[in-house]
């Protein structure tokens, strides 16, 4: 045989061997391509009951992101969907950035036997406080006899429209350290055991029994809930207003649809107890633009502009412009924790002031360039109308400042529409991960509410550098609030709200005459080795119409602590992770009947809504044409306000208020003359009460030509006036650019 013949023979033998090996491997390792080749793209896996449980478990091994150490800030995103039917042998952890859902019309249409889906993993020390960003929806889990299903999560997770046929425990097997979470529209036939969970909100559900109390457990509209028993338990018979999250299902012809549940008021129990889809409407999948991370903001907005709804499939969306929702009744549904990241300081998403928009299942990260707001609902400063009959709702929408990547944003979520419903919101300024530090992942507020009659159902806001929540709208209501103060405050001087030590976590401003809240928990852990104090965990106007029920503060660890629960009452929080509780705070003062803010362009002409300078004595005016940096200010004044000022010893006597009424005063500053810190230092008092002592504009703002806003609560004097006095401090004379009284 020639050398050429030998080579050809060897090649044929190799090909035969290779083909045989490929056949052997294909028999040993299942091909998963058939499961992720649907209209939703490669990161969405769809199974039907013909698929063996072992095959499903193998795929979940690949995509589950279950390990805390390696996956907490993974860039992988997946969704797993189960068509209706019964599945045997499915048993797996639900990992990071994984959403799992059934596609039936009720949870009972999709049944998992053999262990089901659960979460039990920890960070290695038994701690489950970082088990974020995962969800289970619209499934029935048949718990094996004598067993217990587990859902050991913290914030940023959802357990919705579930039926647990058995017991459910909300921590790992050893009842490790835990800090979550949220259940809605679900039935647990057996016992719901909180075990070591520090706090939890359960809404519109049915439970067989309940066990385990630590600090703050809130139930609204839950059949089988424990009776009201504060401290520990807050129970409301109904939920005042809610719209359940939209969800995917397949119809009898195998077509995908999205069901949009109807608005409910004074409701209790699950939406599916009567069988079928329940009350609401179905949207064909053809009405949706199905986006992937390869789509640009322009492409997505083009589809939205034509009236399309939007499905965001799993992945990370780098956005050079905001996704803009402009049509009423638009549904935006995220699968597998799609993550929106603005790239150039814009919001990630904006929503017009229209009826019935529904946002669900989104994670929004701050980008490297500071955004003034990450998600804005409504139009800042615009006239607002009622949406009571068809409100906008946000379900399972989460925010992150740093952690996964460096980033900053002044405000994470701003509500400028009326009647908005917030249902399971977590806004987190990261305390660990990438880009973390007091001067790095900067963020003032997690939530700012300017709209009226806004309802928050399950609200968690943590580690922001000013008030975690600032509520400016009337008629708001919160059921369950969980918050941790910023850990990394470097000094008391860097965390002052005027003359007050620290910012309140939950702040209802003096413009508000009516506000209600139930089950509020605020926790401190100042970990820089410096004694940092917060004078009030909660601050509200002392006016009739303010009703705060069941409040708790805890010093988790660290230095300093919380001096009072609310408005100078409740006393200091003890050390040693012991709760300090206050059952009720009811305001009793008069609320201003004025509906118009007083906005003054100090030293300048009218710049709507700011009126021309008036009500002053003393000082002289000055101006500049130099651009003023306002990116670090929440709700900045118009540029022209900062480009003019009045300097000297000045008094403003502003009339027209109800004697004894409470108000928010916002003072706007920008240094346009001096170039370095230490050249202008002065004092400010409001109605005789010092609020700024030796205040240095440049040192506070960080640079010349940079805006800074200082905000205070005050009470109109017996003549219905607010008197603002600026006096000399250590160096030179006072300077002021703008005044807002709300």
> Which of 78 and 121 is assigned the larger pLDDT?
78
> Which of 16 and 694 is assigned the larger pLDDT?
694
Q: Structure tokens of 212? A: 């385990």
| H or E segment to which residue 332 belongs | strand 331-334
Q: Structure tokens of 268? A: 């209790």
Taking the C-alpha atoms of residue 179 and residue 197, their distance in angstroms, rounded to an integer, is: 6
Closest by CA to 159, choosing from 223, 99, 84, 241, is 99
Is 157 in a helix, a strand, or coil?
Answer: strand
Q: Structure tokens of 95? A: 């990992």
The answer to whether 287-534 and 598-741 have equal CATH topology is no
Taking the C-alpha atoms of residue 548 and residue 564, their distance in angstroms, rounded to an integer, is: 15
Q: Could you tell me the residue ranges of all domains in the chain?
A: 1-30, 33-237, 287-534, 598-741
**Exposure string over 280-293, b if 16+ CB within 10 A, otherwise e:** beebebeebbbbbb
Query: For the chain, how long is the longest CA-to-CA vector?
Result: 116
Residue 617 and residue 602 in contact, taking contact as beta carbons nearer than 8 Å: no
Question: Residue written as tokens 């519109």?
Answer: 204
| H or E segment to which residue 689 belongs | strand 689-695
From first CA to last CA, the distance across the chain in angstroms is 99
% helix / strand / coil in the chain, to the nearest 5?
10, 45, 45
Taking the C-alpha atoms of residue 626 and residue 643, their distance in angstroms, rounded to an integer, is: 7
Its CATH architecture, for the domain 33-237, is: 3 Solenoid (2.160)
Taking the C-alpha atoms of residue 207 and residue 226, their distance in angstroms, rounded to an integer, is: 10
Lowest mean pLDDT among 433-437, 476-480, 613-617, 681-685: 613-617
What's the chain's average pLDDT? 91
- pLDDT tens digits, residue range 704-740? 999 999 999 888 887 788 999 999 999 999 999 999 9
pLDDT above 70: percentage of residues in the chain: 95
Question: Which amino acids are annotated catalytic?
Answer: 484
Is 701 in a helix, a strand, or coil?
Answer: helix
Q: Phi/psi at 299 (nearest 5 deg)?
A: -65, -45
Closest by CA to 354, choosing from 328, 389, 382, is 328
Q: Which residues are 116's β-sheet partners?
A: 91
Average pLDDT of the residues in 342-351? 97
Average pLDDT of the residues in 586-606? 81
Q: How many CB atoms lie within 10 A of CB 369?
A: 14
Lowest mean pLDDT among 485-494, 604-613, 655-664, 704-713: 655-664
What is the band of 114 on the pLDDT scale with cuts at 50, 70, 90? Answer: confident
Q: Which residues are 456's β-sheet partners?
A: 422, 478
Closest by CA to 83, choosing from 221, 255, 224, is 255
* pLDDT confidence of residue 79: 97
Average pLDDT of the residues in 163-186? 90
* pLDDT confidence of residue 285: 98
CATH class of 287-534: mainly beta
Is 20 in a helix, a strand, or coil?
Answer: helix
Residues 6 or more apart whose CB falls under 8 angstroms from that of 74 comprise: 65, 96, 97
Q: Where are the beta strands (DSSP E) in 559-642?
A: 561-562, 579-586, 598-601, 616-617, 620-623
Q: How many CB atoms lie within 10 A of CB 426?
A: 27
Taking the C-alpha atoms of residue 671 and residue 513, their distance in angstroms, rounded to an integer, is: 35
Residue 500 and residue 493 in contact, taking contact as beta carbons nearer than 8 Å: no
Is it true that the peptide bond before 25 is cis, omega within 30 degrees of 0?
no
Taking the C-alpha atoms of residue 658 and residue 677, their distance in angstroms, rounded to an integer, is: 39
Residue 59 and residue 45 in contact, taking contact as beta carbons nearer than 8 Å: yes
Sequential DSSP letters for 480-509: EEEEE--S----GGGSEETTEEB--SEEE-
Taking the C-alpha atoms of residue 501 and residue 561, their distance in angstroms, rounded to an integer, is: 11
Residues 6 or more apart whose CB falls under 8 angstroms from that of 14 comprise: none
Residue 444 and residue 708 in contact, taking contact as beta carbons nearer than 8 Å: no
Q: Structure tokens of 55? A: 């095959």
Taking the C-alpha atoms of residue 719 and residue 717, their distance in angstroms, rounded to an integer, is: 5
Taking the C-alpha atoms of residue 104 and residue 142, their distance in angstroms, rounded to an integer, is: 16
Question: Residue written as tokens 């303010």?
Answer: 546
Q: Is the pLDDT of residue 30 over 50?
A: no
* pLDDT confidence of residue 21: 35
Q: Is the pLDDT of residue 29 over 80?
A: no
Sequential DSSP letters for 70-94: HHTT-S--EEEEE-SEEE-S-EEE-
Question: Residue written as tokens 């397949």?
Answer: 250
Instruction: Estimate to the nearest angstrom the gap between the alpha carbon of 129 and the chain centroid.
Output: 17
**Exposure string over 657-687, b if 16+ CB within 10 A, otherwise e:** beebbbbbbbbbbbbbebeebebbbbbbbbe
Taking the C-alpha atoms of residue 490 and residue 118, their distance in angstroms, rounded to an integer, is: 40
Question: Residue written as tokens 């809240």?
Answer: 517
* pLDDT confidence of residue 721: 87
Q: How many CB atoms lie within 10 A of CB 580?
A: 21
Residues 6 or more apart whose CB falls under 8 angstroms from that of 600 comprise: 610, 611, 612, 613, 614, 615, 652, 654, 738, 739, 740
Question: What Cα–Cα distance (Å) separates residue 217 from each residue in 92, 182, 201, 573?
Answer: 28, 10, 6, 19
- pLDDT tens digits, residue range 508-559? 998 899 999 999 999 999 999 999 999 999 999 999 999 999 999 999 999 9
pLDDT above 90: percentage of residues in the chain: 80
Q: Structure tokens of 447? A: 């939530």
* pLDDT confidence of residue 125: 73
Q: Is the pLDDT of residue 5 over 90?
A: no
Taking the C-alpha atoms of residue 446 and residue 263, their distance in angstroms, rounded to an integer, is: 26
Q: Is the pLDDT of residue 9 over 60?
A: no
> Helices H, strands E: what count in the chain?
6, 61
What is the band of 576 on the pLDDT scale with cuts at 50, 70, 90? Answer: confident
What is the band of 594 on the pLDDT scale with cuts at 50, 70, 90? Answer: low
Residue 322 and residue 348 in contact, taking contact as beta carbons nearer than 8 Å: yes
Q: Is the pLDDT of residue 19 over 50?
A: no
Residues 6 or more apart whose CB falls under 8 angstroms from that of 628 comprise: 639, 642, 643, 670, 672, 705, 706, 707
- pLDDT tens digits, residue range 221-233? 999 999 999 998 9
* pLDDT confidence of residue 115: 77
Question: Residue written as tokens 């002392």?
Answer: 542
In the sheet with 598-601, reading across from the earlier edge strand, the strands are 598-601, 738-741, 662-669, 708-715
* pLDDT confidence of residue 179: 85
Question: What Cα–Cα distance (Å) separates residue 448 from each residue in 38, 54, 179, 360, 374?
Answer: 39, 47, 24, 19, 11
Q: Structure tokens of 488? A: 């990394």
Output DSSP code: residue 636: P
Taking the C-alpha atoms of residue 742 and residue 661, their distance in angstroms, rounded to an integer, is: 11
Its CATH architecture, for the domain 598-741, is: Sandwich (2.60)
């Amino acid at each position: 045989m020639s050398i050429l013949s030998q080579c050809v023979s060897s090649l044929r033998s190799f090909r035969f061997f290779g083909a045989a090996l490929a056949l052997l491997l294909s028999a040993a390792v299942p091909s998963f391509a058939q499961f992720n080749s649907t209209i939703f793209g490669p990161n969405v896996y769809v199974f039907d009951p013909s698929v063996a449980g072992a095959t499903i478990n193998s795929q979940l091994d690949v995509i589950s992101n279950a390990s805390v150490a390696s996956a907490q800030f993974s860039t992988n995103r997946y969704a797993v969907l189960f068509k209706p039917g019964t599945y045997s042998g499915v048993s797996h952890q639900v990992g990071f950035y994984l959403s799992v859902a059934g596609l039936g019309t009720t949870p009972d249409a999709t049944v998992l036997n053999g262990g089901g889906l659960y979460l039990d993993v920890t960070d290695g020390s038994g701690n489950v406080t970082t088990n974020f960003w995962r969800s289970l929806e619209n499934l029935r889990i048949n718990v094996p006899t004598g067993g217990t299903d587990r859902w050991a999560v913290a914030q940023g997770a959802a357990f919705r429209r579930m039926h647990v046929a058995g017991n459910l425990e909300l921590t790992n097997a050893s009842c490790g350290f835990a800090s979550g979470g949220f259940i809605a529209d679900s039935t647990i036939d057996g016992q719901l055991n909180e075990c070591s969970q520090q706090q939890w909100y359960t809404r519109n559900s049915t439970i067989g029994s309940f066990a385990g109390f630590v600090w703050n457990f809130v139930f609204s509209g839950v059949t089988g809930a424990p009776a009201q028993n504060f401290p520990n338990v807050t129970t409301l018979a109904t939920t005042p207003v809610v719209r359940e999250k939209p969800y995917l299902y397949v119809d009898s012809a195998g077509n995908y649809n999205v069901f949009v549940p109807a608005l409910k008021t004074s409701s209790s129990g699950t939406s599916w107890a009567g069988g079928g889809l329940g009350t609401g409407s179905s949207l064909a999948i053809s009405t949706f633009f199905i986006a992937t991370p390869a789509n640009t903001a322009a492409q997505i907005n083009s589809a939205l502009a034509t009236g399309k709804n939007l499905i965001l499939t799993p992945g990370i969306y780098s956005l050079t412009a905001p996704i803009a929702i402009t049509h009423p009744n638009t549904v935006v549904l995220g699968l597998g924790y799609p993550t929106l990241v603005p790239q150039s300081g814009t919001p990630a998403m904006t929503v017009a002031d229209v009826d019935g928009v529904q946002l669900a299942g989104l994670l929004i990260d701050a980008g490297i360039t500071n955004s003034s707001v990450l998600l804005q609902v409504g139009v800042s400063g615009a006239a607002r109308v009622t949406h009571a009959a068809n409100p906008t709702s946000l379900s399972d929408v989460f925010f992150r400042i740093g952690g996964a990547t460096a980033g900053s944003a002044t405000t994470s979520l701003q509500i400028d529409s009326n009647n908005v419903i917030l249902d399971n919101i977590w806004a987190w300024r990261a305390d660990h991960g990438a880009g973390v530090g007091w001067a790095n992942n900067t963020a003032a507020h997690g939530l700012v509410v300017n709209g009226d009659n806004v309802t928050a159902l399950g609200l968690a806001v943590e580690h922001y550098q000013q008030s975690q929540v600032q509520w400016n709208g009337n008629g708001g209501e919160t059921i369950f609030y969980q918050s941790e103060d910023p850990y990394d405050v470097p000094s008391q001087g860097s965390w002052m709200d005027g003359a007050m030590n620290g910012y309140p976590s939950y702040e209802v401003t003096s413009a508000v005459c009516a506000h209600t809240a139930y089950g509020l928990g605020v926790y401190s852990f100042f970990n820089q080795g410096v004694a940092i104090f917060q004078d009030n965990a909660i601050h509200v106007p002392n006016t009739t119409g303010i009703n705060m029920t069941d409040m708790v503060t805890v010093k988790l660890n660290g230095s300093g602590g919380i001096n009072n629960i609310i408005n100078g009452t409740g006393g200091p929080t003890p050390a040693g992770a012991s709760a300090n509780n206050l059952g009720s705070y009811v305001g009793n003062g008069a609320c201003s009947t004025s509906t118009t803010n007083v906005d003054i362009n100090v030293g300048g002409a009218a710049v709507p809504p700011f009126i021309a300078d008036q009500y002053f004595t003393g000082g002289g005016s000055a101006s500049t044409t130099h651009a003023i940096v306002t990116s670090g200010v929440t709700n900045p004044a118009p540029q022209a306000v900062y480009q003019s000022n009045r300097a000297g010893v000045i008094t403003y006597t502003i009339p027209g208020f109800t004697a004894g009424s409470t108000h928010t005063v916002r003072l706007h500053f920008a240094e346009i003359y001096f170039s370095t810190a230490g050249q202008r230092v002065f004092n400010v008092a409001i109605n005789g009460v010092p609020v700024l002592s030796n205040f240095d504009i440049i040192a506070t703002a960080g640079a010349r030509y940079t805006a800074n806003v200082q905000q205070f609560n005050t009470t109109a004097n017996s003549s219905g006036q607010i008197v603002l006095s600026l006096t000399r401090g250590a160096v030179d004379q006072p300077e002021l650019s703008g005044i807002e009284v709300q």
